[in-house]
Chain A
Amino acid sequence: MTSPHTLAADRVSRRFGGLCAVSDFSLSVSTGELVGLIGPNGAGKTTAFNVITGVYAPSSGHVLLDGRRIDSLPPASICRAGVARTFQNIRLFQNLTVLDNVTVGFSRSAELGLTKTILRAPRFFREHRHAELEAMDLLGTLNLADKADTLARNLPYGDQRRLEIARALATHPKFLLLDEPAAGMNPQEKSVLMDLIRFIRDRFSLGVLLIEHDMKLVMTICQRLTVLDHGETIAVGPPAEIQCNPKVVEAYLGEPLHA
């Protein structure tokens, strides 16, 4: 077993002008853990994701991967360091095939020199072959192999979600950040998704951080939850505890009426 990894946000804040989208956000995920990030709309969940994956630099605080700071790195380097993500509104490479979408994730093969690429040197063929086979295996694992030659934009919705996860897995991540993976799914699809998330966590030995609105899903699969509201962390703990936390109930349902 490889040594477990940790991804941690250490009192991260992100301000946009006068708006404090996330403040004093702390969180830690280790290999094999499934951690949920929940909160009402506009609570700053996606901003927290964007800070962790380098889309935004934090206004203050650090993001640490195995104790090493990654918050000053560009998104591509953070991905290479081992933090992959999916997006709330699916962001696939629409006009590329399913196979190409996944193969892009093996960015190492894109590093082959331009001369070797143009001359089609033996190494080009070796790397090309290797990347495609590995991508096919990954597609097979996620049950997408028979659609390898379809354009991504022609996939049904559920498959698009799965392909986005496959693409993230292709980068050999240590941590996977899923931004509302169940959005727009029916209950049955959601239960399949739950199995899938647990399956890939074990199969690829990942730590998973999950944003989700579906309480049933979150309460079932997450080991720990962090609840955000207006950028503030209002509760941290195991799902059962969170469920009866009065602050959380208030954030979601409003203040209780005192007649």
Chain B
Amino acid sequence: MSQRRSDQLPAPAPPGGPAAAAEPLTAPPEHHDAGGGRSPVLSFVKSNAAIPVLILLLLPLANLVEGRSFGAYNARIVTLIGYNIILAVSLQLINGVSGQFSLGHAGFMAVGAYLAAYPAKTYARGFVDPATTLLFYVALAVVVVIVGAVLYGVLRAAALLRTFHRSLPGIALIVLIVWIAADVSKAADLEVIPTWCVWSRGFAGLESLFAGVIERGGAAAASVSSHLSAAAAKPVCFIVLLLGAGACAAATGFVVGLPALRLRGDYLAIATLGMAEIIRILIQNSRPLGGALGLTGIPKYTTFPWLYGAVIVTVVCVWRVAYSARGRAIMAVREDEIAASAVGINTTRQKVTAFVLGAFFAGVAGALFALNEYSITPTRFTLDRSIEVVVMVTLGGLGSISGAILAAVVLTILPEVLRPIAEYRMIIYSLLLIVMMLARPQGLLGTRELWPRRFGLAFKRKPQVTKQESFA
């Protein structure tokens, strides 16, 4: 029902309010050109035209930042600011816009970092082989889908069995989960499950499935890549790595978010914290991913234009989601979940959307990080890293995207500025945070933004009431 019901009905004169009855109904006006706006197509072009221009502007800037006179130290700080902006803005979508307090951002970053570094090192051969890299993600997705389908089947079967008998399926479920976990751990060379658990014939099947997909498709994929010119292969491969890493982090976010987002406040924070730690410890115990020593010899690709290109894309995406009808629904869930569901919002769906999207960009940030650092270790993705990002989001103002950017810049530069006072540095830094929170508990910007929220919308003018009739 797209039209107001009142437009289809002759509204009877209200018996109660004489003043209301006094005002006659006017004919329904044409909706689409009321409010003095432009055509939607023109608005679409106008709002998107600026983005490629902005990204192109990064190229001359890159010469400046990567030049000798700017200094390696300063360039390093600029790079750190880049990662932090992506992380803070994506966490703002989760913590600020959707109001779900997450402490797991480093976990998603780790997923992105490792699942970009591993294929980059193993399959991309110096970034000339995008198709095989893509195949890696496809193989990974195939394995994940199969494991997911098996788990789903087991859970469904258990749910069906529960109607017959209460305790037996529970036991069967635990046995099955241990069985699968043992197999997965054996296949992935994880050592989190004790060896006595690995009694089954092993899900070496999963590993060989993965290897099989890569082998079958590998030759074909490599030949596809060889058709690309060397100049095109590198950026294409990089984009595949970034999107693949982001997708893996988003998938992790989905799997974690679906059950965890039932929790609220502190409980959700603890659940996400636990998730991030599990991810880190899984990586630490996995042999292909280098264990505690980490992955080394990762090819370097992240450059200033790529990093800040990603920053622009992240900010634009998060901004547009936050200030759209969907963002409004997400914010409504933050404000009052019961009221939100009472106006027809699927609250779970909105929360998961924000969570998955935030995880995606955290994964992208992780990939950019890994492909810049030559080596990564699990210690780079500890709880401290998550808290650092949470501090940025809170300091900038929960709900303010420009505030998150501002805080990411300030909190990256501040410790560096304080470097001359050496041992007192972190004391001053912490004191500043405490004073800041006492003086402005709502953060630097509160929920405000540095530029208008209607930025880029077709109608900057507030829509006017087009109907004359009203209740007295």
Chain A interfacial positions (CB closer than 8 Å to B): 1-2, 53, 55, 74-77, 79-80, 84-85, 87, 91-96, 100, 103-110, 112, 114, 117-134, 136-137, 139-143, 145, 148-149, 167-168, 170-172, 192, 194-200, 202-205, 221
Contact = CB atoms under 8 A, between A and B. Distances in A.
B35 A199 contact: no
A182 to B, nearest CB: 14
12 contacts: A79-B341, A84-B342, A104-B340, A107-B345, A108-B2, A118-B316, A118-B320, A122-B40, A125-B44, A172-B1, A195-B20, A202-B13
B169 to A, nearest CB: 24
A198 B12 CA distance: 11
Contacts of A112: 324-326
B359 to A, nearest CB: 14
A149 B471 CA distance: 20
Contacts, number: 217
A190 to B, nearest CB: 13
A109 B353 contact: no
Interface stretch (B149-157, B279-287, B328-336, B404-412): B328-336
A76 B344 contact: yes
A198 B343 CA distance: 22
Contact of B329 (A85, A110, A123, A196): A110
Nearest to B31: A133
Interface of B: 1-2, 4-6, 8-9, 11-17, 20, 31-32, 34-35, 37, 39-41, 43-44, 47-48, 316-317, 320-321, 324-326, 328-329, 331-332, 335-336, 338-347, 350, 353, 357, 399, 447, 456-459, 462-467, 469-472
Is the contact region of chain B dominated by helix, strand, or loop, or is it mixed? Answer: loop
A93 B331 contact: yes
A126 B339 contact: no
A141 B470 contact: yes
Contacts of B347: 76
Contact of A167 (B14, B326, B343): B343
B325 A109 contact: yes
Contacts of A120: 43-44, 47-48, 320, 456
B322 to A, nearest CB: 10
Contact of B466 (A92, A94, A136, A143): A136
B4 A110 contact: no
Contacts of A125: 37, 40, 43-44, 457-458
A76 B470 contact: no
Contacts of B35: 129, 132-133
Contact of B328 (A85, A104, A126, A196): A104
